[in-house]
Structure 1
């Protein structure tokens, strides 16, 4: 189902719905990742983390274009957002908050999370866009999903990620929840530049299947 909202926006999940193959080109998935990072970073700068990063909680203004995807992604749900500070203590067990499919291993293990965990969720969304699925798509139990996260780097879905994003994933997993990750934008931009160059920003670069019905 494609949900179109007033103001000519659609949920990010509609992108896979529209795709005839269920996945998208790597450069387009990277553009989505960069758009999500751009949407989340101001939230982190204001001292909050999202904790609920999924394709259902972000919208893209219409028409689909690189400008709208990368620069104008809209956060639709802040119901699980919570305050974050590098001075806070992060060694306590907590109740799980988020979505099993896209949450980080740390979140699934019921540990306190930080900005890095939001960005790990972004990488899972990008991996799903590229491969059409995640390794744990049929798994609903939190503990089993947490165990599968430990082996994510051994999966085809991980190997299909550009090397810049694979390296970023490792750094994010190794970071402390009290850290504010650096060079996240740069990793996505570098991966994009390596594939597309300046032509990325041309509206004509959008795949034909991204045209919305009635437009």
Structure 2
């Protein structure tokens, strides 16, 4: 595998305004959730989904995205395919600016938490603002602001309506629920087609 060594954070920051061109943002976001789905289908949750943990491979004809660093990944299914019961309490896992509010509450993380982290990435890729990001080095304050904004969608008001639709679906999910990845992918593809005239 011929990786460039460039992760998505560095790739994003190489553009003006430190966010991706809209078409690139949507295509990369789709590729990222497809990779996350593969990890989930293998029976694992990553627990540290963030731009630094995705690498881009430039192949000439089509770029590929890879998810890296499985150091704190956890198996959520037993070998027989049954769901591993959620523990009542856990530790904080993840990175403050992208971690799910459940991580700050030291709850067992599930597939939906990986998708919340993915969604925070998508917002940034598209040029949106994460209200807690200025406080990422203050774990307590960062967690408080995330909890405050968790049920609100006001911070998404300048983004396409599909962002709000995705977010409202993700935050209603629970540990046991099977994510409907295709719905989220479909929403992003709708933006590509409607706003950019691209069938992807």
Q: Which moved more, 1:88-97 or 1:76-85?
A: 88-97
Name segments (4+ residues, structure 1) moved above 6 Å.
none
1:80 match: 72
Give, in angstroms, the shift of residue 132 of structure 1: 6.1
Q: Distance in 2 between matches of 1:7 and 1:21?
A: 25
1:44 counterpart = 2:40: yes
Q: Which moved more, 1:80-89 or 1:5-14?
A: 5-14
CA distance in 1, matches of 2:158, 2:59: 28
SS of 1:21's equivalent in the other structure is helix
* TM-score where L is the length of structure 2: 0.83
CA contact (8 A) 1:59 1:73 kept: yes
Equivalenced residue count is 191
Q: Distance in 2 between matches of 1:88 and 1:162?
A: 36
Task: Label 1:64 to 1:184 Cα distance change in 2 as closer, same or farther (>3 A).
Answer: farther
Taking structure 1 as the reference length, the TM-score comes to: 0.78
Tell me which residue corresponds to 2:139: 142
Counterpart CA distance in 2 for 1:154 and 1:174 is: 13
1:160 maps to 2:158:
yes
Superposition pairs for residues 53-68 of structure 1, below 5 Å?
53-62=49-58, 67-68=62-63
Q: Quote the residue 1:209 is aligned against.
A: none
**Which digits, 9 at most, give the CA deviation of each residue in 1:94-119, with x for residues without a partner?**
10111111011112211111111111
Unaligned runs of 5+ in 1: 202-215
Unaligned runs of 5+ in 2: none
**Residue number in structure 2 paired with 1:20:** 16
- Measured at CA, do residues 64 and 76 of structure 1 come closer, stay the same or move farther in structure 2, by a change above 3 Å? farther
Relative to structure 1, the CA distance from residue 100 to residue 33 in structure 2 (aligned partners, 3 Å threshold; closer, same or farther) is same
CA distance in 1, matches of 2:188, 2:50: 18
CA shift, 1:78, in A, is 0.9
Change (3 A) 1:172 1:154: closer
Q: Which has the higher contact order (CA 8 A, sep 6+)?
A: 1
CA distance in 2, matches of 1:46, 1:133: 32
Please give the per-residue CA displacement for 1:31-60, whole angstroms capped at 9, x wherever unaligned.
221111011111100110111111111111
Matches within 5 A, 1:108-147: 108-131=104-127, 133-139=129-135, 140-147=137-144
